[in-house]
Amino acid sequence: MVNFSLEGKIALVTGASYGIGFAIATAFAEAGATIVFNDINRELVDKGLAAYKEKGIEAHGYVCDVTDEEGVNRFIAQVTGEIGVIDILVNNAGIIKRIPMHEMSAAEFRQVIDIDLNGPFIVSKAVIPHMIKKGHGKIINVCSMMSELGRETVSAYAAAKGGLKMLTKNICSEYGQYNIQCNGIGPGYIATPQTAPLRERGSDGSRHPFDSFIIAKTPAARWGTPEDLAGPAVFLASEASNFVNGHILYVDGGILAYIGKQP
């Protein structure tokens, strides 16, 4: 029988107070996992704990900035001591800055790379030795359409998510021998706070031009929801995917396959 269960597993989802991370962690809990998450400040962590509790999930929340190597090492040691070795890591925490490249400062570019690419490196590096000792592990990196495609104003984000795709393949290559599978999940355009500016309605109720564009570009003719990612994430976190490694599973309603509806 194919095993999609996460019973007895400890899952860390970074930046999972809300949005995609929260939906993935909720699905993991429903599949039997113990949920650990971090966020950038106490207020967000408390908000997340309350939201998990509302769903009947006793999550473990910690304040930790994924770009702070010392802080991450302390965080992972604390979780390992208090709860146990992390079996499943989802590198979800991320930001985007939508600025034309020629107007973007190097500091702004660096900040996106730091959180979206250095962060997954730092957290994965802290968790991998424990996974090696335990004899198994699952690492899921939250990639993006921008791991494959570019567009105006998202140069830093695309560079980070393109790098995250290759970091995924490299972790697969270097640690597959220890029964660690590292895959990416590539959400399409998902309705979360991060994309709210792209969906803002006009004062007359009209759709934001980018909203109309995404509807035309998606065969499913809708934005995704964080819940659309739940099943694919449980699959990648479960033993059902033990021979899937270095793969980016796009959950985009078909955007990457489709030239787009004729205007």
- 19/137 with CB nearer ligand NAP: 19
192 makes contact, choosing from Ca ion, ligand NAP, ligand GCO, none, with CB < 5 to 8 Å by partner type, with ligand NAP
Determine which helix (DSSP H) or strand (DSSP E) holds 250, and give its type and residue range. Answer: strand 248-251
- Quick one: tokens of 36? 């650990």
Q: What residues contact residue 205 under an 8 Å CB cut-off, 6+ apart?
A: none
The region of 18-26, 118-126, 165-173, 183-191 touching ligand GCO under the rule CB under 6 A is 183-191
Q: What is the spatial distance between Cα 158 and Cα 146, in angstroms, rounded to a whole number?
A: 5
Beta strand 60-63 pairing with 34-39 = parallel
Evaluate whether 258 touches 217 at the Cβ level (below 8 Å): yes
- 31/66 with CB nearer Ca ion: 66
Kindly list the strands in the beta sheet with 248-251, ordered across the sheet, starting from the edge strand earlier in the chain.
Answer: 60-63, 34-39, 10-14, 88-91, 137-142, 180-187, 248-251
Q: What is the spatial distance between Cα 47 and Cα 254, in angstroms, rounded to a whole number?
A: 33
Determine which helix (DSSP H) or strand (DSSP E) holds 183, and give its type and residue range. Answer: strand 180-187
180 makes contact, choosing from ligand GCO, Ca ion, ligand NAP, none, with CB < 5 to 8 Å by partner type, with none
Using the rule CB under 6 A, is 187 a contact of ligand GCO? yes
> Does residue 178 carry a catalytic annotation?
no
Task: State the first-to-last Cα distance of the chain, in angstroms, to the nearest integer.
Answer: 47
The region of 28-36, 86-94, 101-109, 166-174 touching ligand NAP under the rule CB under 6 A is 86-94
User: Which of these is catalytic: 52, 62, 157, 189?
Assistant: 157
Q: What is the spatial distance between Cα 97 and Cα 109, in angstroms, rounded to a whole number?
A: 8
Using the rule CB under 6 A, is 155 a contact of ligand NAP? no
Of residues 118 through 147, those in contact with ligand GCO by CB under 6 A are: 144-146
Q: How many residues line the site for ligand NAP (CB under 6 A)?
A: 28
- 85/95 with CB nearer Ca ion: 95
> How many degrees, rounded to 5, is the angle at CA 55 between CA 24 and CA 130?
45
* Binding-residue pattern over the window 196 to 235 for ligand GCO, x denoting contact by CB under 6 A: --x-------------------------------------
Nearest residue to 255 (alpha-carbon basis) of 229, 228, 217: 217
Using the rule CB under 6 A, is 21 a contact of ligand NAP? yes
Q: What is the spatial distance between Cα 245 and Cα 164, in angstroms, rounded to a whole number?
A: 15
Instruction: Figure out which of the listed residues 137, 189, 223, 232 binds ligand GCO, where binding follows CB under 6 A.
Output: 189
Instruction: Kindly list the residues in this chain that would bind ligand NAP in the complex (CB under 6 A).
Output: 14-15, 17-21, 38-40, 44, 65-67, 92-95, 115, 142, 144, 187, 189-190, 192-195
Q: What amino acid positions are annotated as catalytic residues? A: 157
Instruction: Kindly list the residues in this chain that would bind Ca ion in the complex (CB under 5 A).
Output: 95
